[in-house]
Amino acid sequence: MALATPMQADGAIDFVGFERLINHVISGGVNYVVLLGTTGEAPTINWKESRALIDFVSEKIAGRVPLVLGLGGNDTQGILEKLKEIKSVPVQAILSASPYYSKPSQEGIYRHYLALADVSTFPVIVYNVPHRTASNVSADTTLRLAAHANIIGVKEASGDLTQCSIIARDKPDDFLLLSGDDMLTLPILALGGKGVISVIANAYPKEFSGMVQTALAGNFQAAAAQHSHLLDKILLCGKEGNPTSVKAALEALDICQRHVRLPLAPASDPLVQDFRKAGKA
């Protein structure tokens, strides 16, 4: 699951709240955590802070679950330099969003990820999130990348189940198709997906992880009932954007406060109240 980064009112990182969040999600049964993804507000966290967070989160996890580091962007050379700098840090994989704003061709996206995979001492997970990057990583490009020994999976947040179907059908057996959308996790698992990098699991790890595990066990009727039980909360998590909305849930659950860094704005009082009404389970 994709960790939010708790903040204080002045924008400083809330390390006390962060430790509380880490313990909450691990005790709730998540299989691994992703640090400094979109949900973690990576665009507004500088590199010095990022290095401190890697050390802090790794220490607090204490080997209980694997740690995946979000490291993406549209400056390929800059990412390569960071990969060389962190080659011995205690993370188990890299999640890298496809280059944003530049709108590279499929060949450019392919070469970008090959460059990262050739340098990284960690396995690389492609992150396809076109509604944020303005360019889709096509199924054909994903499948080309899947042939690289150091590219182990894709987080698919395209919202395109046809694309996910093609990847699921044609990928190598050991290549991971992961949902990047809480709402579409169940159908992606039904297509052959192997997991999810979730937002809602920050707040409701036990319930969401339970649904995923039920689906992975092949009991889709029971998983559908669990999904339906979570549906209103999933919708609330999208109401004011990510991570604004999930931080409202975390404040409602007394895990951390709703503070975010600009250009994000904090969640509204009505949304926090909606999460309080939704309850803990």
| C-beta pairs of 8-16 under 8 Å, 24+ apart in sequence | 8/257, 8/259, 9/257, 9/259, 11/259, 11/261, 13/45, 13/49, 13/53, 14/256, 14/257, 14/259, 15/56
Answer yes or no: are the C-beta atoms of 130 and 158 closer than 8 Å: yes
DSSP structure class, residue 199: S
Backbone angles phi, psi at 221, to 5 degrees: -65, -45
Report CA 156 to chain centroid distance, whole Å: 10
Say which amino acid occupies 128: N
Active site residues: 127, 155
Which tokens hold the place of 90? 């205690």
